[in-house]
Structure 1
């Protein structure tokens, strides 16, 4: 069985210039947990998920550092703090989306999809054909495919 056999076609998407509020409304309206971000040619350039939006209401701790004379040594990664802050305050999808995106080719197998999800700790995979979005696979789709094989 291939990715194209279990994918959901007609994927709901957003563009990088869409507002975060629009993305949130789409997630809630369609009872989904993630949206591929596509460009004008329908290439996947990012993904915005519930996880990306969790920072909006949260508290972010600045990176810890040691001050030694006139220098600072960061214990925590300051770029991680910067990314979290951007996600917390971003107004547009491009500010909040995750990149790069793990995708799967339509002709790849379902076990390949499961392995990609496990390896990269993602809950969904955009499915592409000739570089363009044609569907999406969730963990539930993979479980359903296993059930149909039993």
Structure 2
């Protein structure tokens, strides 16, 4: 079975300048847990999830550090700490979105996409064409529906 046979073709999206409030309202109103961020040409430039929005309410863990002769050396967690603060300070989709989006094509096999989603702990994947334009979205729920 191919992605195009089970994907959702009418995708709810937001633009880069969408406010955090607008994103939250869109997620709640449409009973979805995430949505693509697209530019004016319909190309996917990021994705925002409930998890991204929850970061605004969670105090980030301090990075692990080591003090040597008065100098503080961070040896793990610094990148995650900076990323958490970036999301806390975000006011728009562009500032809070995940930019490195894994996407799939309409002609990809669902079994391979399901494995990718399972292995990478991904809940939804944009379906794009060769130019990066959004054509649909496939979520875990779409794959589970196949069991019916």
Alignment TM-score, normalising by the size of structure 2: 0.93
Provide the alpha-carbon RMSD of the alignment. 1.3
Which residue pairs with 2:110 in the alignment?
Answer: 110
Q: Which runs of 4+ in 1 moved over 2 A?
A: none
Deviates more, 1:45-54 or 1:63-72: 63-72
Show structure 1 runs of 5+ residues with no match: none
Check if 1:145 corresponds to 2:146: yes
Q: Deviations over 1:51-97 (max 9, x none)?
A: 11111111123223122114222132312101001112210111111
Alignment TM-score, normalising by the size of structure 1: 0.92
Which residue pairs with 2:39 in the alignment?
Answer: 39
Aligned length: 147
Which residue pairs with 1:17 in the alignment?
Answer: 17
Task: Tell me, in whole angstroms, the C-alpha distance in 2 between the residues paired with 1:19 and 1:53.
Answer: 11
Equivalences for residues 43-62 of structure 1 within 5 A? 43-62=43-62
Task: Tell me, in whole angstroms, the C-alpha distance in 2 between the residues paired with 1:21 and 1:121.
Answer: 26
Q: Is the 8 A contact 2:64 2:74 kept in 1?
A: yes
Task: Tell me, in whole angstroms, the C-alpha distance in 1 between the residues paired with 2:63 and 2:38.
Answer: 32
Task: Tell me, in whole angstroms, the C-alpha distance in 1 between the residues paired with 2:105 and 2:39.
Answer: 18
Task: Tell me, in whole angstroms, the C-alpha distance in 2 between the residues paired with 1:97 and 1:25.
Answer: 16
